Amino acid sequence: MAHWHNENPWKDHVVYVTLEELAECIAGGTITFFPSRQTAPLDVEYCLNRWHERGDKLDAYILPSPSGFHSVGVRYGPAGEDYFSPYARNQEKVIGLLQKYRVLNNK
């Protein structure tokens, strides 16, 4: 269920996915914090914990691109700037998830 669909400027183009599955697409490698230069695993738990800092009403989506390099996003509020777009380095995972939800939603 999308909480912010009507406020999403890409609402006619996005494919909604679960937050957990989007986190699985983003997870991998490590993240480095500055200025301490400490690192932490960029895993599903880390992604979900950070994303939920924005609230409990989160819409996870994929914004397909004709180029094949799809954007992903999480909307957390009604204002235009109330979203973030994490870097999806593993486009194969994103493409697989996009295909899954296109089939489920007949898109």
* Structure confidence by residue, pLDDT tens digits, 16-51: 999 999 999 999 999 999 999 999 999 999 999 999
Range of the domain at 28: 5-105
How many domains does the chain contain in total? 1
Tokens found for residue 31: 């993240």
Distances, alpha carbon 47 to alpha carbons 51, 88, 105, in Å: 6, 12, 25
Positive or negative, the Cα torsion across 51, 91, 98, 29? negative
83 contacts: CB under 8 Å, gap ≥ 6: 8, 73, 74, 75, 76, 77
Q: How far apart are CA 5 and CA 98, in angstroms?
A: 18
- What's the predicted TM-score (pTM) here? 0.90
In this prediction, residue 106 has a pLDDT band, given cuts at 50, 70 and 90, of confident
Q: Is 107's pLDDT higher than 80?
A: no
Q: How far apart are CA 75 and CA 71, in angstroms?
A: 13
Percent of the chain's residues with pLDDT above 70: 99
Q: Is 102's pLDDT higher than 80?
A: yes
Q: How far apart are CA 106 and CA 6, in angstroms?
A: 20
The mean pLDDT value of the chain amounts to: 94
Distances, alpha carbon 32 to alpha carbons 26, 38, 49, 85, 94, in Å: 15, 6, 16, 18, 23
Q: Is 95's pLDDT higher than 90?
A: yes
Percent of the chain's residues with pLDDT above 90: 91
In this prediction, residue 7 has a pLDDT band, given cuts at 50, 70 and 90, of very high
